[in-house]
Amino acid sequence: MKYTIGYDIGSSSVKAALLDVETGKCLATAISPAQEMPMHAPVAGWAEQDPEMWWQEVQNATKKLQQQHPFDGHAVAGIGIAYQMHGLVCVDKDQQVLRPSIIWCDSRAVEIGNEAFNALGQNWSLQYLLNSPGNFTASKLRWVQQYEPEIYARIHKIMLPGDFIAMRLTGEAATTISGLSEGIFWDFSGRQVSPVLLKHYNIDESLLSDVVPTFGLQGKVTEKAAALLGIAAGTPVTYRAGDQPNNAFSLNVLKPGEAATTAGTSGVVYAVHDHIAFDQQSRVNTFVHVNDTADAQRNGVLMCLNGTGILNSWLRQVTGKPDYSEMNTLAAQAPAGARGLHIYPFGNGAERILANRETGAVVNGLNFNIHSREHLLRAGQEGIVFALKYGMDIMKDMGLQIHRVRAGQANMFLSPLFREVFANTANVVIELYNTDGAQGAARAAGIGAGLYNEQEAFRGMECLATIEPDAALQQQYASIYSQWLEGLQHIIK
């Protein structure tokens, strides 16, 4: 038998999946740690993690796979990596980490990105970068340069979280074009690293890692890493992508007009298109999709809501409910609109859809005499959907028409109420599949290893449910969303 392994390096946990190449079936999945990984905020608005912690959890998750489904490590034919996007990892010439990673929801570089957006020219930035430099990896590196010059002087290579894990596996520092685009280093017009952006930030291009293909040989597992993981030295790493492009791949969202959504720690709608598109305020962002080529352009428009599953996690703590399924049941007992209680889930750093404002979360309309836990839980789920709808309307204004979305049956999509509110507020058909990011990375690794083609990669994946919008519910949720939206206008004034 031949296997592929997929890793999904999140900010809450590392997920791993073992795939049978012959049947396309997922044989085992593992999550490590059992509790969420720590996220440090030494200053309000910051968010950091230790990259070595991710690597340790990769090892732990691999051991759990072996316990669930013992496999011959020499039969692993390819490894795929998905990872939390937009993080910054800095290493020295000995590949040692110089500082904690500045991760995706960290807000410290917002003003640096805004300054660059204006200095470079908004029209130029949108034409060539398709985004504001914003609070992305390049701006985070500029922050290190300005505020930690001694560390900056020791940097040999910078990388994204998935690049770091690939380096620990192979001993080689590398990245992808898709990765460069998510860091806002990529010139879409010239299909090259942007010399203008580097010059403005005074960044030497030598700090960027070499480019490898998204699918294909990216390096081979070293003897040291092989011993830690229980696989063979020389096993090829054959795929890497940011978690949202990878999530789209895992749902077979590869063609223009197709869209994927996820609602984990963050909430995302990601739509594929074959032309240049951008939002004038850069509230949603365009990155290179995993199957982009020079002959067939494929970009992904990504709308991200930071405060999604993290709001649900917070609600679990404050309501004293240990089980998310029980929370979903309680939320469904409250009436639609939660009797006028509205939650605005913007409490996890600066929100791109709010033009990088950091408003904090808001609970509006709370009445101690009529509202209970059920109303609070329902308002949380509705607020997340309404914020996603707000972002989807920005995508619509860019010319993207989204009528059907695919999602893994996981996280918030495990809630029947959440699915109902999403389908009827956004007026979309939802298709739920038995997949996740780790499985997607494992399937993609098989393509990169030449074990099968793109069409064959999705054997073993099934559509578990389809949720259609209902005309009566659409009208009801349209009214509730309108009230929620009115409250949002006061928040962002």
Burial environment of residue 431 by CB neighbours within 10 A (0 to 12, 13 to 18, 19 or more): middle
What average pLDDT score do residues 391-415 get? 94
Strand 26-32 versus strand 48-49 pairing type? unpaired
- Is the distance from CB of 107 to CB of 349 less than 8 angstroms? yes
What average pLDDT score do residues 337-347 get? 97
pLDDT of residue 223: 98
pLDDT of residue 275: 84
How many beta carbons lie within 10 A of that of residue 414, not counting itself? 15
Model pLDDT for residues 421-479, shown as the tens digit of each residue: 999 999 999 999 999 999 999 999 999 999 999 989 999 899 999 999 999 999 999 99
Closest CA to 210 of 159, 249, 174, 169: 174
- Is the distance from CB of 12 to CB of 348 less than 8 angstroms? no
> 112-128: b or e for each residue (b if 16 or more CB lie within 10 Å)?
bbbebbeebeeeebbeb
Task: Name the helix (H) or strand (E) containing 32.
Answer: strand 26-32
Using pLDDT thresholds of 50, 70 and 90, give the confidence band for residue 109. Answer: very high
Is the pLDDT score of 314 beyond 90?
Answer: yes
What average pLDDT score do residues 123-132 get? 96
Q: Return the higher-pLDDT residue of 310 and 332.
A: 332
pLDDT of residue 322: 80
Using pLDDT thresholds of 50, 70 and 90, give the confidence band for residue 264. Answer: confident
C-alpha distances in Å from residue 175, one per residue of 8, 146, 209, 218, 429: 16, 24, 6, 9, 35
Closest CA to 384 of 406, 357, 413: 413
- Percent of the chain with pLDDT strictly greater than 70: 100
- Percent of the chain with pLDDT strictly greater than 90: 92
Closest CA to 64 of 269, 203, 229, 197: 229
Closest CA to 355 of 268, 284, 306, 307: 284
What average pLDDT score do residues 248-265 get? 94
Q: What is the mean pLDDT of the chain?
A: 96
Model pLDDT for residues 352-373, shown as the tens digit of each residue: 999 989 899 999 999 999 999 9
Model pLDDT for residues 9-45, shown as the tens digit of each residue: 999 999 999 999 999 999 999 999 998 899 999 999 8
Domains of the chain: 3-246 (3.30.420.40)
Instruction: Report how far residue 108's alpha carbon sits from residue 340's, in angstroms, rounded to the nearest whole number.
Output: 35
Contacts by 331-335, CB closer than 8 A, 24 or more apart: 331/374, 331/377, 331/378, 331/380, 331/381, 331/415, 331/417, 332/378, 332/416, 332/417, 333/374, 334/372, 334/374, 334/375, 334/377, 334/378, 334/379, 335/378
C-alpha distances in Å from residue 409, one per residue of 72, 125, 262, 416, 426: 30, 37, 9, 11, 18
Closest CA to 11 of 231, 447, 321, 308: 308
* pTM assigned to the model: 0.91
